[in-house]
Structure 1
Amino acid sequence: MPQSGIVKYHVKLSYEVDGLVERADIIGAIFGQTEGLLGPEMNLNELQRVSKVGRIEVNAKSTSNTTSGDALIPMSTDIDTCALIAAGIESIDKVGPFDCKFKLEAIDDVRAAKKDDIVRRAKEIKQKWATKTVSEGESMLNDVHQGDAKKLSTYGPSKLTCSSGLADSNWVILVEGRADVINLLRAGYDNVLAIEGAKIDESIKELCNSKDTVVAFLDGDRSGGFILKELKSLVNLDYALQADTGVEVEELTPQRIDEILRPIADEIKQGKPAPQLKSEDDKPIAEMAAKVFPNLNETLEAIALDGDQNEIFKVPISEVVSKLSSQSGIKYLLLDGIITQRLLEGAKNAGVECVIGHRVAKLSNSEGMTLKTFGDLGVS
C-alpha cells in the first residue's frame, strides 16, 4: 500500500479451485471478475490507485487435481466498503476454466489489534518505569529518613530516643516512641524525647526538672490517655496534648503538628508563663468532667448540662451547633473533640458558660467564656 494509505481492515478469505492454478490466476480472478460488478468507483484497481486497497496477498496449496489457499486484502475504507468487496469476491465462481468457491473468513480491525499491542506495550513500559520510579522514591524517602536519623540521639542510661537539640532547649516535648520523635523533627521540632513505654524512666523525671516547660504530646487513643495519667503522676506537666481522636502522633502531617504545637512554642518564645493544669477553682468543673468523661470519650458526641449538672441533650458533634441554637438553660458543654471558633460562637449565643473538649483551637472573641481541656482538668 502506498505511504499515504493507512490500513484499517484485513479482509481474509479462503478459496478452493477444482483444478491446478497458480497464485497469479487467483489474483487475476479477484481483480477481473469483480471489475464493474459494484460500479467503477468500487473496482479494486481504482481503490488501489487511491490507496484504499493495498497489495493483495495470496497463498496457494495444490494437490493432484485441486488448489486451495487463502487471500488477504488490506483496506483503508469504511467497514461497509469492506463488506461489499468481500461479498463481491465471494461471488467469484471461476478461476480460468475451473470452478471455484471463495468464502469470507474474517474482517479484522487492524486498529483494534494495534490498540491491543499499544496496551500491552504500555503495560510493559509502566511496569519498567513504575518499578524504577518506586525504587527512586524509596531511595528519596530513605534519604529523608537518614537525614532525620542523623538528628536523633539518645538520653539517659536507658538510651531513650531523642532529637539532638534536646540538650540545648529550655523546653521538652515528651512523646511515646521513636517514630514520633522523627515525625516532630520533620515538623521542625528538635527538642523531643520518647518515653518508650508506659513505665516512666527515672531519667525522664530528672530531665523535666531541669527544663522550664514540659509538654506531653501523646497519641489520640485510649493508650495515649493511660500514658498521660502515668506521666502526670510522676512529672509536672505544663501542657498535656493529644493527637486528634484515633490518630497517632507519628501519623500526623507536619502541618497538623505545627498547628498543635505552634501556640505553645510562641508563648514560650515570648516568655509567657506556662498555665497551671489544675487549680482549686477548677476542682468542681474537674469533678463534673471526670463523671462525664467515661461515657463521652471516643464517641464523637457532645453533652449539654444545666447548672445542676442535669443532662439537657447528647448529640453527635456534627449536630451540636444547630442544636445549641434551639436550646436554653445550658451551663456546661462537654465534647469529644476540638473547641472550634464556630462551636464557640454557637455556645456564646446559647448562653453557655463553660466548654470542655480535648483541645482548643486558635480562637478569637472568647472573653467571658471558660474554656478547658480534659487534660487541663486532669481528666483523660
Structure 2
Amino acid sequence: MQSSDTTKYIIHSKVNADGVIERPDIVGAIFGQTEGLLGSDLDLRDLQKTGRIGRIEVIVNTKGGKTRGNIHIPSSLDRIETSILAASLETIDRVGPCTAKIEVSQIEDVRATKRKHIIDRAKYILTDMFDENLPESQEIAEEVRQSVRIEEMQYYGKNKIPCGPNVLDSDAIVVVEGRADVLNLLRYGIKNTICVGGTNVPPEVAELTKKKTVTAFTDGDRGGKLIIKELLQVADIDYVARAPDGKSVEDLVQREIVRSLRQKVPVEQAIDAYSIEGESSGKTPATAKKGRLPRVAKRKERVVKPDVSRTASKTKDLAEPKERKESRHRPERRQSPARRSYPPEASRFKKHSEDLTGTLGARLLDNEDKVISETPVRDLVNALKESEENIKSVVFDGVITQRILDIASSRGIENLVGVKRGNITKNPTSVKVYTAQGA
C-alpha cells in the first residue's frame, strides 16, 4: 500500500472501452499487460509490494454500452521512471472482452500542490491572524511617530500659521490647505510646507511666496479649485499640483504624494484652466518681484546648513528659471488659434490643436488621425503608459517635455504636437516633434 507521505507524483489517465467493463477488469488489465514489459525493476506488482507505487484508483461510468473512466496511480519513483511507467499504460489495448484505449492526461506533482497550499495558507495567516492580534509594540511605535511629527511642526508669522521646519531656509516651498496636510507631508519627510487655512490666504503666506519657488498642492475637490483661484490672484506661485479627484492631501500615501507633485503644471497653464487671465490682482511684474531674493545667493547661503540639504534635494524639481516666473505677468502668454503657424507636414493636426487650445487637454490619435481617447494633460503620462491602443500621434495643449518624448518613443508614437518645447536634451529620430511656432 502506498503511503501518502512518500507520494511524489500522481499519474492521471483516461480509459475508453467499447463495451461494459468494471474496475477489477481495468486493474487486472494494467497488471497483466504490463507484466515483464519493462523488466523486473519496473514491474508493477513488485513496485506496489515495496510501496513505490500506491493503490490504483479507478472510477468508471457506463452509458449506451460504452465505458468511460479515469485511472489515478500514485508514484514515489523519480520523474524518469514515472514517465516510463505512464507511457506503458498506453500500450494496453484490451480490457476484459472489450477493445479499449488508455491515454495519459496529466502527471501531477504532489509537492507543487503542497507548496501552493503552503503559500495560500501563509498569506491568510499573515493578513488575517496577525491583524487580529496587533502587537502592542506597533501601537506604541505609531504613537511615538505621531508625536515626533507634531513636534517637527512649527508656526510662521504673527498668526501662527502651521508649517514645516524648513520653510524659511528652503528656496522652494509647497503651499497646502490645512494643518493636517502639513502633518501628512511631514510624515513622509517633506518639511518645506506651509498651509493657508482655507480660501482666505494669510498676508504672511502671500508675502512669503514672492521670495520662493512655490508649488500650490490642494485637494482634488471644488474647495481645492477655489483655493488655487485665490492663490493665483493674491500670491506669487509657480506650479499647481492637485490630489487625485475626490481625495484630500491629508489622506494620501507617499506614492500618491510623489505622483501628484511630479504631475504639477506650470502656473501659465493653470491661469488658463481656472479662468484667471485678465483679472486684476493688484500686482505688476515689478511689485510681484519685490523682496524676492536672488536664487543664486540663496543657494550659497544654504550650503552652510547641512540639515537643510536633504529637504532641498526632495524639492529640487520645484525650482524654475527666473524667466518663466516673469512670463506670466506679460499680457500675451500664448498665441490665439488664428495666429498659430504650422509647418506643412504638421498641418493635418491643426484642427485638433485649435480644438484643444485653453483646455489643458490631450488627444491620442490612430494612424488615420482619428481620436482614440482624450485625457487631461496632467494625466497624459499615465494614459500613454496604460493605453493598449495603437497610438500614432499625440496632440495636447501643453509643453513637450523630455519625459513625454521618451515615453512616446518607447510606445512607437510617430508625432508629438504641443504648444511649445520644454528642455529637451535627447530627441529620438523615430518621433517627430511639432509646436505651434514650428517644428
TM class, shorter-length: 0.3 to 0.5
Q: Which has the larger radius of gyration?
A: 1
Normalised by the length of structure 2, the TM-score is 0.40
Normalised by the length of structure 1, the TM-score is 0.46
